[in-house]
Chains A and B, each alone.
Chain A
Amino acid sequence: MKETILKIENISKQYRLGLVGTGTLSHDLNRFWHRVRGKEDPYLKVGAVNKRSAKAKEDYVWALQDINFEVQKGEVLGIIGKNGAGKSTLLKILSRVTSPTTGSIKTKGRIASLLEVGTGFHPELTGKENIYLNGAILGMTKAEISAKIDEIIEFSGCEMYIDTPVKRYSSGMRVRLAFAVAAHLEPDILVVDEVLAVGDAEFQKKAIGKMQDISRGEGRTVLFVSHSMAAVKSLCTRAIVLEHGSNVFEGDTDEAVDFYLQSNKVKELILLKNRKDRSGNGKALLSNVEILNSKNEVVESVISGEFLRIKLHFSINDKIEDNLIFAISIKDNNDIIKSMIVSDEMNIDINSLISRGYIIVDFNSFLMRGGVYNATVLLSGYSTASLNHIDRIEMAFDINVLQGDFYDSGKLNRTYPLAIIPAKIN
């Protein structure tokens, strides 16, 4: 039977915008005066929705508003959202660093967080002493640390320096030591913010492996916050999506990720009608582009290795010749071509597609590594020599690719503007 281990009820958090100044004091006094008379806080009624880019009109903002969800024991819950959506605030409240303005959180287990590693390291103490101190700060008892000290030292890979003051450590070694301590925490509920990107490649692999052990093997309840959709997909069993401080979606991980990518969408199409930096005779013009997912919904990003559909709309201004060629080249930000599609290699009758008004390009598996690419679109006559160009737009649109796990290994493919090649190593 499933058991609820964590229950979040109506959590809201209000912050003041701007500086602490004289206005603060008068607000504080007013608030105090209301409380003395047994009335509720007058400033709880005001407060803007947490929209980073909107202009601040009020003095207060709701970083979180009426968050409700429950976490079952053994569940790995992903929390996704854009920068400033309230993820960190939620984690801070969960880890009791700050308290909510309203609402309550009930828990049946101890919560420990990997918000930031290396908290409370004292530079004058040796590595070993710092393991004890840091472990205790994170909530371990001395006996618990002693039982694991060898494991921690081995995991950190800093055995040689363990009796040297931490101030002599390189920054990488410090992070290794800190992560080693944090990774050996054994709370009932573990809160993980994106801390995995630490150390060198070798250590990162170790760290990610450890995270997977914790969340998969040991059956721990984990709250996982990440911007990496692939990591969320591979680690989490369920996910919630935060937007402007509200919980806008809760459910299955795949659906949540889809929802998130969609909620990120640029509401309009990518308009190319008015682009002036184009070349060609203009008999047909690329007017706009849609980037779609497998459900034909507009998305902002695609996960590496997943389905991607690009729909290009054309407007025809003049009679055009036969045997058209259509091409898309995918470039990285340094203007280096990383891949391309040319219709004449595929024996496609572009003319009939153009006359219908749009061309659809489907990638069943978009095999590019994580990163931002841009696409150059070309429509031309029977040869691609520049005098035959009908319409050509450099950097017509961006393709935002999120890291994926193409080889199904549980590890994310590195971010680098390159294609992924299906391969097998024996």
Chain B
Amino acid sequence: MKASKDSEWLYTISSKRKLIDFNFKEIWRYRDLLVLFVKRDITTVYKQTVLGPLWFFIQPLFTSVIFTLVFNNIASISTGEIPPFLFNLTGITAWNYFKVCLTGTSNTFRGNAGVFGKVYFPRVIMPLSVVISNLVKFGIQLLILLVFYVYYLSQGFSISPNSHILMFPVYILMMAFLGLGIGMIISALTTKYRDLTMLVSFAVSLLMYVSAVPFPMSEIQEKQPQYAWLLEYNPVAQIIEGFRFMILDAGVFTWLGFIYALVFTIIAFLFGLIIFNKTEKTFIDTV
């Protein structure tokens, strides 16, 4: 038998692992799987429903109506020159995408233990497919936003995007990666100790209120300045506010806040990736 050098081996399975072991070549080989997962996620959600894909529209629309009723009509929160409904719809569309990325990926390990326990494929495919399939849904919901945008324009409201609209892709990526990063951290932490799962669902709904979704950030800075830091240090609030700012040209935007959110996102994502990588190899023993 010839002496075999390490370079001849296709891959090695061992207990030792690198800090970030992100094998792009392997993920690329499984790209078809990623596409199929995305397709599955999108097509199966509304199977056997009468309204079908219309449900993609109904959820943000109704939420916006309720928000407008509660926060703007009853609680009389001012949204400035922007029609409250459009204001809420914009915020909810952005928030929803972040939320589904977070909650969708936070259950990666526990939700897929059955599949993960039997076959190997790069585990990161799962959270990636969640982010991508929700991006498609987000795109559809963006269309609704566009329809109402045009409607309010025709009604003579003075709304227009500003030059920040060029950063649109950056904001999308930030929402996706922040949700993905935090989601991966949670999914990794819940494989052994389930405590966090209890927290996630209600923490996320609480997070919405400190993320400036149903009200502009300026509102809290005026009325409750002592609590404004809660929003200013919240990267999600920075992203939502910035997203609204570029679309509606209203609200608070600071480059400092933007950079802060961006750095936070990158750190959360990298940290998520590391902890996810560490977990994926043995989680099946503890899940």
Contacts and interface: CB of A to CB of B under 8 A. Distances in A.
A99 B15 CA distance: 6
Interface in B235-285: 281-282, 284-285
A48 B115 CA distance: 30
Given A107-B10, A119-B115, 17 more contacts: A4-B4, A96-B13, A96-B120, A97-B120, A98-B281, A99-B14, A99-B281, A100-B13, A101-B15, A105-B13, A106-B11, A106-B12, A113-B119, A119-B114, A124-B44, A139-B119, A142-B32
Interface in B100-157: 114-121
B285 A15 contact: yes
Interface stretch (A129-137, A237-245, A320-328): A129-137
Interface string B1-19: 1101010111111111100
Nearest to B283: A98
Given A4-B4, A108-B10, A116-B118, A136 B36 contact: yes
Interface residues on A, range: 35 or more
Interface in A81-96: 92-96
Contacts of A129: 40
Contacts of B286: 20
A103 B15 CA distance: 7
A137 B36 CA distance: 9
Interface in B42-87: 43-44, 47-48
Contact of B9 (A92, A97, A106): A106
Interface in A109-158: 109-110, 113, 115-116, 119-120, 122, 124-125, 129, 132-133, 136-139, 141-142
B10 A133 contact: no
Contact of B15 (A1, A100, A106, A109): A100
A385 interface: no
Interface in A1-48: 1-4, 7, 15, 20, 24-25, 28
Contacts of B30: 136, 139
A364 interface: no
B202 interface: no
A170 to B, nearest CB: 20
A133 to B, nearest CB: 5
A102 interface: yes
B119 A25 contact: no
A400 interface: no
B13 A102 contact: no
A4 B12 contact: no
B282 A99 contact: yes
Contacts of A20: 192-193, 286
